[in-house]
Amino acid sequence: MFRKASGFIFVFLSVAAFSAVAADWQALPEQAPAPADNPTTPEKVELGRMLYLDPRFSSTGTVSCNSCHNVMLGGEDNRPVSMGVHGKTGGRSSPTVWNSAFNSSQFWDGRAATLEDQAKGPVVNPIEMGMSELEEAMDRVRDIPGYRPYFEAAFGTDNPMTVDNAAKAVAAYERTLITPGSAYDRYVNGDKEAMTEQQVRGMNTFASLGCVACHSGAAFNGPAMSPGSGFFARFPTFTDNDYVKQYDFTSDEGRMAVTTNAADKHMWKVPTLRNIALTAPYFHNGSVKTLDEAVRVMAKVQLNQDLSDAQTADLVAFLMVLTGEFPQQTMPQLPPTPGRSIVH
Amino acid sequence: MFRKASGFIFVFLSVAAFSAVAADWQALPEQAPAPADNPTTPEKVELGRMLYLDPRFSSTGTVSCNSCHNVMLGGEDNRPVSMGVHGKTGGRSSPTVWNSAFNSSQFWDGRAATLEDQAKGPVVNPIEMGMSELEEAMDRVRDIPGYRPYFEAAFGTDNPMTVDNAAKAVAAYERTLITPGSAYDRYVNGDKEAMTEQQVRGMNTFASLGCVACHSGAAFNGPAMSPGSGFFARFPTFTDNDYVKQYDFTSDEGRMAVTTNAADKHMWKVPTLRNIALTAPYFHNGSVKTLDEAVRVMAKVQLNQDLSDAQTADLVAFLMVLTGEFPQQTMPQLPPTPGRSIVH
B86 reaches A (C-beta below 8 A)? yes
CA distance A228 to chain B (A): 32
Q: What is the pLDDT of residues B109-125, one digit of tens each?
A: 999 999 999 999 999 99
End-to-end CA distance of chain B: 64
d(CA B42, CA B101): 16
- Residue B1 pLDDT more than 90? no
A336 reaches B (C-beta below 8 A)? yes
Q: Are residues A275 and A194 in the same domain?
A: yes
B340 is a domain residue: no
Pick the residue of A46, A57, A62 with the most B CBs within 10 A to test the interface with B by mutation.
Answer: A62
The last residue of one of the domains, among A122, A153, A174, is: A174
Q: Is A255 left (phi over 0), alpha (psi -120 to 50) or beta?
A: alpha
Model pLDDT, residue A23? 77
A291 reaches B (C-beta below 8 A)? yes
Contact list in B for residue A339 (CB cut-off 8 A) is: 277, 280, 290-292, 316, 320
Q: Are residues B137 and B153 in the same domain?
A: yes
d(CA A16, CA B4): 83
Contact A341 B289 (CB under 8 A): yes
B42 reaches A (C-beta below 8 A)? no
Q: Are residues A147 and A213 in the same domain?
A: no
Model pLDDT, residue B5? 40
Burial zone of A245 (CB within 10 Å; 0-12 exposed, 13-18 middle, 19+ buried): exposed
Model pLDDT, residue A17? 54
d(CA B172, CA B155): 12
Model pLDDT, residue B131? 98
Sign for the CA dihedral angle at A323, A328, A329, A330 comes to positive
Nearest CA in chain A to B66: A62
Contact list in B for residue A330 (CB cut-off 8 A) is: 328-331
- Residue B53 pLDDT more than 60? yes
d(CA B237, CA B230): 19
Whole-structure pTM value: 0.94
Q: What is the pLDDT of residues A242-262, one digit of tens each?
A: 999 999 999 999 999 999 999
What average pLDDT does this structure show over B204-213? Answer: 96
Q: Which of residues 258-277 of B touch A (CB under 8 A)?
A: 277
B256 reaches A (C-beta below 8 A)? no
Q: Are residues A189 and A59 in the same domain?
A: no
Would you call A110 helix, strand, or coil by DSSP? coil
What average pLDDT does this structure show over B203-215? Answer: 96
A327 is a domain residue: no
- Residue B47 pLDDT more than 70? yes
- Cβ-Cβ contacts under 8 Å between A and B: the total is 131
Q: Are residues B143 and B188 in the same domain?
A: no
Q: Work out the pLDDT band at B226, boundaries 50, 70, 90.
A: confident
Q: Work out the pLDDT band at B3, boundaries 50, 70, 90.
A: very low
Query: Among A10-24, A26-40, B141-155, where is mean pLDDT lowest?
Result: A10-24
Q: What is the pLDDT of residues B263-295, one digit of tens each?
A: 999 999 999 999 999 999 999 999 999 999 999
- Residue A316 pLDDT more than 60? yes
Contact B329 A330 (CB under 8 A): yes
Cα dihedral B311, B313, B319, B324, rounded to 10, equals: -150
Nearest CA in chain A to B52: A72
Contact list in B for residue A291 (CB cut-off 8 A) is: 338-340
Q: What is the pLDDT of residues A292-305, one digit of tens each?
A: 999 999 999 999 99
Partner-chain residue, chosen from B71, B289, B338, that has the shortest CB–CB distance to A340: B289
CB A258 within 8 A of CB A109: yes
Q: What is the mean pLDDT of chain B?
A: 94
- Residue A27 pLDDT more than 80? yes
- Residue B15 pLDDT more than 70? no
Tell me how far the alpha carbon of residue A188 is from its chain's centroid. Answer: 21
Helix (H) or strand (E) holding A269: strand A267-269
Q: Are residues B206 and B283 in the same domain?
A: yes
What average pLDDT does this structure show over B136-159? Answer: 98
Helix (H) or strand (E) holding B329: strand B329-331
Q: What is the pLDDT of residues A52-96, one digit of tens each?
A: 999 999 999 999 999 999 999 999 999 999 999 999 999 999 999
Q: Are residues A191 and A161 in the same domain?
A: no
- Residue A6 pLDDT more than 60? no
d(CA B119, CA B166): 9
Q: What is the mean pLDDT of chain A?
A: 94
- Alpha-carbon radius of gyration of chain B: 21
Q: Are residues B211 and B253 in the same domain?
A: yes
- Domain extent for B87: 42-174
Model pLDDT, residue B102? 97
Angle at B109 between CA B107 and CA B114, to 5 degrees: 45
CA dist A234 to A217, A249, A287, B342, Å?
19, 11, 17, 29
A330 is a domain residue: no
- Residue A168 pLDDT more than 50? yes
Contact B340 A290 (CB under 8 A): yes
What average pLDDT does this structure show over A104-127? Answer: 97
High-pLDDT (> 90) share of chain A, %:
91
Q: What is the DSSP letter of A288?
A: B
B168 is a domain residue: yes
Contact B337 A280 (CB under 8 A): yes
A333 is a domain residue: no
Q: Are residues A62 and A122 in the same domain?
A: yes
We report the CATH number of the domain holding residue A75 as 1.10.760.10
Q: What is the pLDDT of residues A226-243, one digit of tens each?
A: 877 899 999 999 999 999
A149 is a domain residue: yes
Sign for the CA dihedral angle at A206, A212, A217, A219 comes to negative
d(CA B50, CA B45): 9
d(CA B120, CA B112): 9
- Phi first, then psi, for residue B232 (nearest 5°) are -120, 155
CB B179 within 8 A of CB B326: yes
The last residue of one of the domains, among B141, B157, B174, is: B174
Partner-chain residue, chosen from A61, A289, A340, that has the shortest CB–CB distance to B290: A340
A146 reaches B (C-beta below 8 A)? no
End-to-end CA distance of chain A: 64
Query: Among B12-21, B34-43, B240-249, where is mean pLDDT lowest?
Result: B12-21
Contact list in B for residue A61 (CB cut-off 8 A) is: 77-79
A84 reaches B (C-beta below 8 A)? no
A292 is a domain residue: yes
A334 is a domain residue: no
Q: Are residues A114 and A161 in the same domain?
A: yes
What average pLDDT does this structure show over B35-41? Answer: 97
Q: Are residues B187 and B315 in the same domain?
A: yes
The last residue of one of the domains, among A174, A197, A220, is: A174
Contact A343 B79 (CB under 8 A): yes
Q: Are residues A230 and A246 in the same domain?
A: yes
Model pLDDT, residue A85? 97
B152 is annotated as an active-site residue: no
Contact B79 A67 (CB under 8 A): no
Provide the domain count of chain B: 2
Partner-chain residue, chosen from B278, B326, B336, that has the shortest CB–CB distance to A278: B336
